Amino acid sequence: MKVLKNAQFYRILICLFYLLFFLSISLTGNFKIFVKKFYFPYIIIGILILIFILAIEIRKEKRFKEVNVYDIFSFIIFLFPILLFLIVKPTTLPTYAAMKRGIQTEFLSEDILKSLYEKIETEGKYKKLTIKQILALSKSKPEEINEKDIAVEGMVYKNEGKFTLIRFLITCCAADATPLGIEIEYKEETGKELKNEEWVKVKGKAKVENGKVKIYAEGIEKINPPKDPYLY
């Protein structure tokens, strides 16, 4: 077991683990749980550098340097996030994070207003909009949304009998994710089964008062979490 006593062995393992981690989140598209698509090229550059680093470290493998306690300590630190990733199997930021960060129920974005009416899908009489679009419209063009039939997707967050539909808005990564929320008015029998963190599609009528929007739900159906859980 001479190899276990060589510090170089642990350096190679660290590079290998991180290379595999970066490769796995890129190939599966899971990087979107953590960072915006914008970062994808940087991840690829990181992977290329790691491949070179690993190749050079493997070539140095024959050099023997006795492993000491600091090397093991470093190895454990490097291993910690990878293990966490494998054990926790993260999916999307939970509504718990929304509560800690403070849910934004008002939002204004100029860029989406321009492109908003170019392509909107409909589902029966309902216009399919995102929470970001609804909040931006209710602030700047309330007449476009008031009393209209809308279908919107998001996560359930129930607190003291109040139901808020939540979606996180990301600029760079999950650390900066801002929770956007819309209050949903629902009939007790429609929403009784709903639990926090569940993904649902709410169909109903939007009402805007003083720039604040509320949706009066006519139907709530459970859906699978979308491949891309965040809004950008």
Partner 1 sequence: MGNTLIKKNTREERVKKFLISIGVLFAFIIFNLWYSGKLSELNKIVQNPKLQAFTIVLLAILIEGFSFILIGSLISGTIEVLIPEEKFKKLFSQNRFVSAITGSFLGFLFPVCSCGQIPVSRRLIKKGIPTSGGISYLLATAIINPITLFSTYLAFSSGKIVFGRFLIAFICSVFIGILISPKNKEEILKEYEEEIHDENLKKFEKIFIHSTNDFLIMGKYLIIGATIASLFSTFISRDVFISIAKNRIFSILSMQILSIILSLCSYADAFVASSFTYLPPISKIIFMISGPMMNISLIIFYFSAFKAKFVKKLLISLFFTILILGIIGSFIIGG
Tokens standing for residue 173: 């990564």
With binding defined as CB under 8 A, does residue 17 bind partner 1? no
Phi, then psi, of 21 in degrees rounded to 5: -60, -50
The footprint of partner 1 on residues 184-203 (CB under 8 A) is 197
CB of 141 to partner 1, least distance (A): 17
With binding defined as CB under 8 A, does residue 23 bind partner 1? no
CB of 196 to partner 1, least distance (A): 8
Q: Reduced to 3 DSSP states, what percent helix, strand and coil does the chain have, rounded to the nearest 5?
A: 45, 25, 30
CB nearer to partner 1: give 15 or 150: 15
Interatomic CA distance for residues 219 and 125, integer angstroms = 13
Cβ partners under 8 Å of residue 67, min gap 6: 4, 5, 6, 7, 9, 10
Give the β-pairing of 178-185 and 162-169.
antiparallel
Residues touching partner 1, count (CB under 8 A): 60
The footprint of partner 1 on residues 159-178 (CB under 8 A) is 171-176, 178
Interatomic CA distance for residues 156 and 229, integer angstroms = 13
CB nearer to partner 1: give 24 or 122: 24
Interatomic CA distance for residues 92 and 197, integer angstroms = 9
Interatomic CA distance for residues 135 and 122, integer angstroms = 18
Pick from 3, 29, 37, 81 the residue near partner 1 by CB under 8 A. 81
With binding defined as CB under 8 A, does residue 150 bind partner 1? no
CB nearer to partner 1: give 182 or 217: 182
CB nearer to partner 1: give 97 or 116: 97
Pick from 20, 24, 29, 49 the residue near partner 1 by CB under 8 A. 49
Site string for partner 1, 55-74 (x = CB under 8 A): -xx----------xxx-xxx
Binding site residues, partner 1, CB under 8 A: 11, 14-15, 18, 22, 25, 31, 33-35, 39, 42-43, 45-46, 49-50, 52-53, 56-57, 68-70, 72-74, 76-78, 80-81, 84-85, 87-97, 99-102, 104, 106, 110, 171-176, 178, 197
